[in-house]
Amino acid sequence: MPRIPLRPVRFAGRLILMTAAAAGLAGLFLVLIVLTGGAGSGLAAWLATLGCGTLAALWRGRRRPWPGRLRPLLPVVLAAALTASVCVPTAPVRRRYPPALPFVATQHWNLATGSRVAVYHYPPAPGTARRSTPLVYLHGGPVRGISVLDHRFLQLLARQGHDVYAYEHAGGGRSGLLPMGQYTVSRSVRDLTAFVDHLGKERVDVLGFSAGAVVLAQALAVPRAAGHVRRAIIAEPGPMDGPTTRISGHRGRPSARGLAPAMTGPRSTRVPRYAVALGLMRLGLLEPDTGLVGQAETVNAFRAADLGGDTASAYCARDAHRIPTEDTPQNFSFNPAASLHIQQKLKDSPSIAPRLRRSRTPAMLMIAECSSQVRQWATAILANAPAVQRTQYMPGVGHRMWNGLDGNNERAAAVITAFLQNGPPPLRNYPTRADIPTFLHDRR
């Protein structure tokens, strides 16, 4: 019977043990990151892991002759090298704002709330019938920049006579950052009120999209804020309050998520530091104001490709292979930590339904056929806001209703203009409150 060589077997066994020890120390490092809140950019957890590993290695090799006593230190060195990358920033730690856009001037307004926001103004095109009331746009995010695709749509509205103002929510785009604890939907509502005050107009029309629609819905439940709004357009809203976030249900027609080609380009989530930080934040194991990475650093690091399938989920399945480029790398900006903080605070917020029922501000709801939003998020607003005068179910589009494809921008603009002018709707009023049970049952 042939003899099995012992040296390769022993070497393989030692290699497996060393790998397991290094993995165990890396796991300990992650646990300590959570327990210390990422203090000192993760250095506290790294030093503690290195100390524990070194002591354990020295104790294990205490009876071995030299240089065998150093062998147990090899997995400690390996683990230290691997985990050190989590503690070293690869993006600037001070906020670097996107450069100015070539087609619109960026203004910066200091609001009475203390927020410093980037503002964009698209006046009515010369020769068009000017609308008497300004239109303010609240973008989605919740804390990101206004995309180039959005800017093109706002330009279209201006060409149709609307006096359009848009601002990036505090912490997003070219707007100034806030302390993490100040990112809440209620703060966004106060910023909207302060923005209208700064604009010097008694009342404005407001178009809120996605997370911006949530801000608008909450504003309609606050008398002082609602008093500034002549007409409200709630487009593709997210959950409007804590109870709504806990609603589960179906979404719209199939989206392009899982069908569209994967986004290309650099990703911060492939860098150990940001993969660990953002991953632990999403799991709820690290607070958004963690000491591991600063807010400015995560904004600087985050790239469009980090959104993964979220972009594809905003388009219909039929558009999977022709999804337009929503933004430029230079203009893209997303604040993941602040966005998570807002979402967490929204989950804990009380119901706004009783106050929303008392709102008298005329409103319109826009729902996309292939929406990636839970349908009950929109129908909850419809059911609890008697002032919603019409609903427009937008065929052939996903969550991103104005996407530049097939005249979708023009159709969305026509729906918005008709409502703001109190004209007949281009589409039938559907679903109404009476239609909600059938609408949800038919999985529209």
pTM for this structure?
0.92
> What structural domains and CATH numbers belong to the chain?
6-87 (no CATH), 107-257+307-441 (3.40.50.1820)
**What pLDDT is stored for residue 77 in this prediction?**
84
Q: Provide, rounded to the nearest whole percent, the portion of the chain with pLDDT above 90.
A: 79
DSSP-based three-state secondary structure for 37: coil
Residue 68 clears pLDDT 70, i.e. is over it: no
Residues 6+ apart with CB under 8 A from 27: none
Residue 402 clears pLDDT 80, i.e. is over it: yes
Q: Of 128-132, 192-196, 311-315, which range is least confident?
A: 128-132
Please give the average per-residue pLDDT across 46-59, as a whole number.
85
pLDDT band at 63 (very low <50, low <70, confident <90, very high): low
Residue 246 clears pLDDT 70, i.e. is over it: yes
pLDDT band at 7 (very low <50, low <70, confident <90, very high): low
Residue 435 clears pLDDT 90, i.e. is over it: yes
Q: Provide, rounded to the nearest whole percent, the portion of the chain with pLDDT above 70.
A: 93
pLDDT band at 127 (very low <50, low <70, confident <90, very high): confident
Please give the average per-residue pLDDT across 415-438, as a whole number.
96
Q: Computed over its alpha carbons, how large is the radius of gyration of the chain? A: 26
Strands 204-209 and 363-370, bridge-based pairing? unpaired
**What pLDDT is stored for residue 345 in this prediction?**
95
| Mean pLDDT, the chain, integer | 91
Please give the average per-residue pLDDT across 99-122, as a whole number.
97
pLDDT digits (tens, 9 = 90+) for 274-306: 999 999 999 999 999 999 999 999 999 999 999
Compute the distance between CA of residue 45 and CA of residue 30 in angstroms, rounded to an integer: 8
Q: Of 53-57, 244-248, 399-403, which range is least confident?
A: 53-57
Residue 5 clears pLDDT 60, i.e. is over it: no
pLDDT digits (tens, 9 = 90+) for 152-211: 999 999 999 999 999 999 999 999 999 999 999 999 999 999 999 999 988 999 999 999
Contact yes or no for 368/398 (Cβ under 8 A): yes
**What pLDDT is stored for residue 420 in this prediction?**
97
DSSP-based three-state secondary structure for 203: coil
**What pLDDT is stored for residue 214 in this prediction?**
97
Compute the distance between CA of residue 31 and CA of residue 36 in angstroms, rounded to an integer: 9
Strands 107-110 and 116-122, bridge-based pairing? antiparallel
Strands 116-122 and 164-167, bridge-based pairing? antiparallel
Please give the average per-residue pLDDT across 381-407, as a whole number.
95
Rounded to the nearest angstrom, the gap between the alpha carbon of residue 112 and the centroid of all alpha carbons in its chain is 25
Q: Of 58-72, 81-95, 139-153, 358-372, which range is least confident?
A: 58-72
Residue 6 clears pLDDT 60, i.e. is over it: no
Compute the distance between CA of residue 122 and CA of residue 165 in angstroms, rounded to an integer: 6
**What pLDDT is stored for residue 14 in this prediction?**
57
**What pLDDT is stored for residue 432 in this prediction?**
95
Q: Which H or E element spans position 107?
A: strand 107-110
Most confident range (mean pLDDT) of 10-14, 178-182, 268-272 is: 178-182
Please give the average per-residue pLDDT across 378-388, as a whole number.
95
Residue by residue, DSSP assigns 119-177 as EEEEPPPTTS---SS-EEEE-SSSSBPPPHHHHHHHHHHHHTT--EEEEPPTTSTTSPP
CA angle, corner 415, sides to 150 and 354, nearest 5? Answer: 90
Which two tokens mark 216? Answer: 């608008």
**What pLDDT is stored for residue 172 in this prediction?**
96
Residue 113 clears pLDDT 90, i.e. is over it: yes
**What pLDDT is stored for residue 70 in this prediction?**
61
Residue 12 clears pLDDT 60, i.e. is over it: no
Compute the distance between CA of residue 120 and CA of residue 98 in angstroms, rounded to an integer: 14
Terminal CA-to-CA distance of the chain, rounded, Å? Answer: 72
Residues 6+ apart with CB under 8 A from 428: none
Question: Alpha carbon of 364 to those of 2, 202, 348: distances in Å?
Answer: 83, 21, 27
